[in-house]
Structure 1
Amino acid sequence: MTAPSLTPLSLAALGLLREKPRHPYEMYQTLVFRGEDRIVKVRPGTLYHSVARLAEQGFVEEDGVERDGNRPERTVYRITLAGVEALGAALEEMLGESGTTFPPFPLALAEAHSLPAGRVVEKLGNRIQGLHERLAEYELLRNAALEREVPRAFWIVVEYQQHLLEAEADWLSGLVEEIRTGSLDINPCTQAHSAGTGTPVA
C-alpha cells in the first residue's frame, strides 16, 4: 500500500487525534510539551490550517464543541477510519525508510576545507555550544515528563534526539581537537594551490 502524502504537521496532528479527540490548540500545547515542536515546524495558525485540510481529506471530523470559561468555543476533532489507515501507512513507510536526505550541515562539513582552519574551529565550536544548549532543553522536557508520569511512549523522541545530539557533539568535539592540534589538516589543498599560483594562504 502506498502511503498517502501527509505533511509532517498533518502526520503529528493525526497521531494526536489517534490518542483521543482534541481541539487544535490542545494539540499545539501537547506538541510543545512533548518537545515535538523541535522536530516539526508548528504554530497555532498552521496547525488549524492542517486540521482543516485533514477534514477536507476525510481523515478527521468534528466531534463537538468545547467551551472553557469565557474563552471562545473550540471545535474538537476526532480521527476517522480513513485517517487511522492513512496514519498507519505513512508511519510504516517512514519508519522503514533509510533513504538519503539532504540537510545543509553535512554539505557544509564536506566543504569545510574551503575555509581557514581557525574559522572552521570557531564555527564548529559555536555549533557544539548550541548542541549542548539543546541537550539541556531536552533534559528539562524529559524531567517534566517523568515528574508528570507521562507514558514513555509519548516522549521517546526526546531520548532519540538526546542521543543524536550527544553523538554529534562528541564527534565534533573530537574533530575540533584534531584540527587544533594539527593531527587533521583541514586545508590539504591550500598549500598546493598557494604554491602553484603565488596566492598567499588566508
Structure 2
Amino acid sequence: MSRLNPLAVSALALLAERPMHPYEMYQLMLQRREDRVVKVSAGSLYRAVERLAADGDIAESGVEREGNRPERTVYTITASGRDALRSTLEQMLGEFVNEFPEFPVAIGEAHNLPPERVADLLDERAARIRDFADLLDTGLRHIAAKGVARYRVLNVHYTRAMVAAELDWLERTIAELRDGELTWAAPEQLAAASADPIRT
C-alpha cells in the first residue's frame, strides 16, 4: 500500500469523522488552523479528493445544495481508505524523516554574514516566533474552553513545544553572539582561510 501525502491524510481523517463535501472540508481545515501544519489551498484539496476517489479511498455518497449555490458532491471514506489512513499514520508516527527545512541550511552558513547582522536577523525571527507562540496559546485556550479532547489537537501541543524549543535556542544563540562568546572572522577572511583543510 502506497504512503499518502500529508494533505491526503488530513482529507481522509476529516472524512473518517463524517461524510462531507470538499468545500466543507477546506473550511473546516481553516477553522482548525490545519493550514499551519499542512500546505493546503482550495485547489490542492480538490485535487487530493479527486485522487483519493480515483484510488478508491473515498466514494461519492450524495449531493448537497444550499439555496442558489451549485450542487456539491459529498464523499465518504471507504474501507480501503481507512486502511490507507491507518497504514500511513503508522509509518509517519514510527519513522524519522529529514524534511530538509531551510533554516538549518541558513544557520549552517550564517558565518557568511557578520555576527552582529546574524544576531539582528535571529532577533527578528525570534519576534515572529513569539507572535506565533502567542497565537498558538490563544488557540489552545480557545480549544480548552470548548472542551475539545486533547487527543484531537496533539498536533497543536506538539507545534507549541517545538516553537518553545526553537525560541530557547534562538535566545541563547543571540545572547552568545551579542556578548562575543560566539563569533567568527569577517566573510572575506573566511574566504581566504577556506583553502586550509578542515581539521577534525
Is TM > 0.5 for Structure 1 vs Structure 2?
yes
Residues 29 and 150 from structure 1, CA distance in 2 versus in 1: closer, same or farther, beyond 3 angstroms? Answer: farther
Report 1:47-196 matches (<5 A).
Answer: 47-185=45-183, 187-188=184-185, 193=190
Residues 116 and 68 from structure 1, CA distance in 2 versus in 1: closer, same or farther, beyond 3 angstroms? Answer: same
Q: CA RMSD in A?
A: 2.0
For 1:69 and 1:143, the matched residues in 2 are separated by 36
For 1:41 and 1:188, the matched residues in 2 are separated by 39
Contact 1:58 1:83 in 2 (8 A): yes
Report the residue type matching 2:6 in the other structure: P
Return the offset for 1:151.
2.5
Return the offset for 1:143.
2.4
Q: Secondary structure at the match of 1:155?
A: helix
Return the offset for 1:99.
3.2
Identity %: 44
Contact 1:131 1:165 in 2 (8 A): yes
Q: Secondary structure at the match of 1:184?
A: coil
Q: Secondary structure at the match of 1:65?
A: strand
Q: Which residue of 1 aligns with 2:13?
A: 15
Which stretch has the larger CA shift, 72-81 or 54-63?
A: 72-81
Q: Which residue of 2 aligns with 1:42?
A: 40
Contact 1:135 1:162 in 2 (8 A): yes
Contact 1:59 1:82 in 2 (8 A): yes
For 1:92 and 1:165, the matched residues in 2 are separated by 25
In the alignment of these two chains, the number of paired residues is 193
Listed as ranges, the gaps of 5+ residues in structure 1 are: 197-202
Return the offset for 1:150.
2.4
Which stretch has the larger CA shift, 135-144 or 54-63?
A: 135-144
Residues 71 and 193 from structure 1, CA distance in 2 versus in 1: closer, same or farther, beyond 3 angstroms? Answer: closer
Report the residue type matching 1:172 in the other structure: L
Report the residue type matching 2:40 in the other structure: V
Contact 2:113 2:187 in 1 (8 A): no
Report the residue type matching 2:83 in the other structure: E
Listed as ranges, the gaps of 5+ residues in structure 2 are: 194-200
After superposition, what is the alpha-carbon deviation per residue over 1:32-51, rounded to whole angstroms, capped at 9, x for unaligned? 22221001111112211110
